[in-house]
Structure 1
Amino acid sequence: MLTVVKATLLKYNEIVFIEVKNGEQLKYDDIIVAETRHGKFLHKVLQENINVTEENIVEPDGRFIRLATDEDFENDALNDRDAEAALQFCRDAVKDEKLGMHLITSKYSLDKEKLIFFFTADERVDFRSLVRILAQEFKTRIELRQVGLREKARYLGGVGPCGYSHCCSTYLGSFEPVSIQMAKNQDLSLTPVKISGACGRLMCCLSYENDHYESARKRLPDVGEFIYTPKGKVEVIGLNILELQIRTKNKDNYIYEFSLDELEANEV
């Protein structure tokens, strides 16, 4: 039996599963110090102790060390300040080395034994010379982590067209596949600027209600289909999938609207 908690890297919403030993009971919203392969960082608990049976065990992302103390919070704040200065130094070094990479943010591990720089790049980047420059300047282990455009939006944050903070920066732990078919299922405009997020990719929220739309579409007729209604044979000219409403016209171009319940009752 393995006991883990689901947690997120504080401030960056990166979901991990942390192993908990010795019967320690952690609660939702606890701030803990955990060690992952990237180093020691502060994490927030999202789901309390989960007991994993032997047949379902996979390697956890890290191990629980202790609950965070006031000193840990102070050190983390100081580290963030130093990481910001390091980011500017790294930007200058990238420019000097003429490297095709765009730096996003940086983060010190809690014990400052590692300094991580997050970046995006269109092509593979040989940054060995940059690592040597950074290691010599900061006297610690350096990690350059390339991330995708969605991760970039997560680290930078911002506000979406809905008026709320980006899902990826607040609660969305992992990125699920999003397809253009999901937008079609919802009869949304396929204009890229209207269905794309700050990352330039399709908005993650297109997938949230997709199961409902797919299920509803299976029950509704297709646009252009001729159906029998209480008003006789009509042609379907529009659908309101969310409300399960069908807009139709007859041969004389009179417009009628029906609910799906009305049509199904008519079939009985």
Structure 2
Amino acid sequence: MKVSPEQNVEVVDIQFRPGQKIYYFDPNGLAFQTGDHVIIDTARGAEYGVCAGSNHKIAQKDVVAPLRKVLRKATAQDEKIAADNRVKEKRAYDVCLDRISAHGLDMQLVSAEVAFDGSKILFYFTADERVDFRELVKNLASVFHTRIELRQIGVRDKAKMVGGLGICGRPFCCASFLDDFQPVSIKMAKTQNLSLNPTKISGTCGRLMCCLKYEQDAYEDLIRTSPKLESFVDTPEGRGTVVELDLLRQRVKVRMEENPETVSVFPNADIAVLRNGKARKNDPPIPADLAPISGNGKRAPRPKEPEQPMMLEPIRFRYRTESVVSEEPAGQPEMRFPEETPRSNSRRRRQDGSRPERQERQRPKGAAPAEEQETGERKSRRRPNYRRRRGGRGNGQGSKETEDR
């Protein structure tokens, strides 16, 4: 049965490892709670996972097809197999670490995972450059007698898998609640008024901190409601210039105009912006007779100016109507339009239908008529008329008249 994108689908959230991405699965008619251990069907076969949420419905367009199903809740036998795989993973990690040192490979092993059915072992590692680990794979396959896979990951993925504490003292965001990594730019640090020292805005992985991305929207909203630096503002203590912003506390530091050595702190609600930003050449002067500002950041209302009556210009008619005597029935005036001023060079017909003769311009004595002058100029600029014989291009020779010329 085909489901339209507008309909909702019941899913359950499944997580394979702590800190890894959460996937949607079909509950297959079963009810699950957060923390339940389940066996699910994946592209790699049956896998062991943990429910990160109970059953809920989402839009069909948010589901990545095909939506695989949950096979069953984990039994006691499944729990024993999963525990044995954890022991195998620790031994596989130690063995792989020794083999890497023996082969002298420039790579850092991160973790090892054993499939639920024991069909393969997957090793994650990081490296600065491309590594040739073909001999290492052969050596590990001879030790574990199963399929071996080595997968290279980035430093951010390593921090997410290993976990740890950030400079804020809390667990890594990527290992706690972030599913995907979003691009982070240095412009976000500038917007949030942070120090551009790489050691202060970088995480343990060496990349820009992930919190810069999901806090960007909150900072942009705070910036819209705060004055810019070097803005000229009016405060309850007088006028001054903004020298520093505290976006999170919604406070500003103002250098007072009367005493430049004094810097006072005011809430955003207690100031009024007279000029937002640095002064420019074409900015109008700030009026000096403004009403004093009150404690809530508002001025006393100005008296309303008396309203002046609106003058309407007289309406002018473009066309006029006249009642004339015609063959039409009486009482119906005929619409006539004002006559246009005739052009100087226009020749109107006479009443008898003939056109008046065109007046020739006076020319100096001895000068030839204009037509003759134009004819002489045209003759001098006329290009010779070269004629070709039919089929003249075939033998590569022009006409005789052309050769004579």
TM-score, with structure 1 as normaliser: 0.87
Deviates more, 1:158-167 or 1:143-152: 158-167
The aligned counterpart of 2:268 is 260
Q: What letter corresponds to residue 47 of structure 1 in structure 2? A: G
Identify the structure with the greater helix proportion.
1
The aligned counterpart of 1:9 is 16
The aligned counterpart of 1:125 is 131
SS at match of 1:266: coil
The aligned counterpart of 2:72 is 66
Aligned residue pairs total 267
C-alpha contact 2:115 2:121 (8 A) present in aligned 1: yes
Task: Report how far residue 91 of structure 1 moved.
Answer: 1.9
Say whether residues 1:204 and 2:210 are aligned partners.
yes
Say whether residues 1:191 and 2:197 are aligned partners.
yes
The aligned counterpart of 2:92 is 86
The aligned counterpart of 2:154 is 148
Say whether residues 1:108 and 2:107 are aligned partners.
no
Counterparts in 2 of 1:161 and 1:73: CA distance versus 1, 3 Å:
farther
Point out which structure has higher relative CO (alpha carbons under 8 A, 6+ apart): 1
SS at match of 2:54: strand
C-alpha contact 1:17 1:62 (8 A) present in aligned 2: no
Counterparts in 2 of 1:74 and 1:19: CA distance versus 1, 3 Å:
same
C-alpha contact 1:229 1:266 (8 A) present in aligned 2: no
Counterparts in 2 of 1:56 and 1:239: CA distance versus 1, 3 Å:
closer
Identify the structure with the greater strand proportion.
1
C-alpha contact 1:229 1:263 (8 A) present in aligned 2: yes
Structure 1: stretches of 5+ with no match in the other structure: none
Task: Report how far residue 30 of structure 1 moved.
Answer: 1.8
SS at match of 1:142: strand
Say whether residues 1:37 and 2:43 are aligned partners.
yes
Task: Report how far residue 175 of structure 1 moved.
Answer: 1.9
C-alpha contact 2:14 2:25 (8 A) present in aligned 1: no
C-alpha contact 1:32 1:65 (8 A) present in aligned 2: yes
SS at match of 1:155: helix
Identity score, percent: 37
**How many Å separate the matches in 1 of 2:66 and 2:56?**
12
The aligned counterpart of 2:28 is 22
Counterparts in 2 of 1:116 and 1:63: CA distance versus 1, 3 Å:
farther
Task: Report how far residue 103 of structure 1 moved.
Answer: 0.7
C-alpha contact 2:14 2:49 (8 A) present in aligned 1: yes
Counterparts in 2 of 1:56 and 1:162: CA distance versus 1, 3 Å:
closer
Counterparts in 2 of 1:224 and 1:200: CA distance versus 1, 3 Å:
same
Q: What letter corresponds to residue 267 of structure 2 in structure 1? A: S
- Alignment RMSD: 2.5
Structure 2: stretches of 5+ with no match in the other structure: 4-8, 273-296, 302-405
Deviates more, 1:163-172 or 1:110-119: 163-172
Deviates more, 1:220-229 or 1:104-113: 220-229
**How many Å separate the matches in 1 of 2:251 and 2:181?**
32
C-alpha contact 1:154 1:168 (8 A) present in aligned 2: yes
Q: What letter corresponds to residue 264 of structure 2 in structure 1? A: Y
The aligned counterpart of 1:221 is 227
C-alpha contact 2:38 2:72 (8 A) present in aligned 1: yes
**How many Å separate the matches in 1 of 2:137 and 2:171?**
34
Q: What letter corresponds to residue 4 of structure 1 in structure 2? A: V
TM-score, with structure 2 as normaliser: 0.60
Q: What letter corresponds to residue 148 of structure 1 in structure 2? A: G
**How many Å separate the matches in 2 of 1:131 and 1:167?**
34
Task: Report how far residue 242 of structure 1 moved.
Answer: 0.6
C-alpha contact 1:220 1:244 (8 A) present in aligned 2: yes
Counterparts in 2 of 1:263 and 1:166: CA distance versus 1, 3 Å:
same
Q: What letter corresponds to residue 247 of structure 1 in structure 2? A: K
The aligned counterpart of 2:142 is 136
The aligned counterpart of 2:281 is none
The aligned counterpart of 2:325 is none
Q: What letter corresponds to residue 227 of structure 2 in structure 1? A: P
Task: Report how far residue 164 of structure 1 moved.
Answer: 2.7
Task: Report how far residue 39 of structure 1 moved.
Answer: 4.6
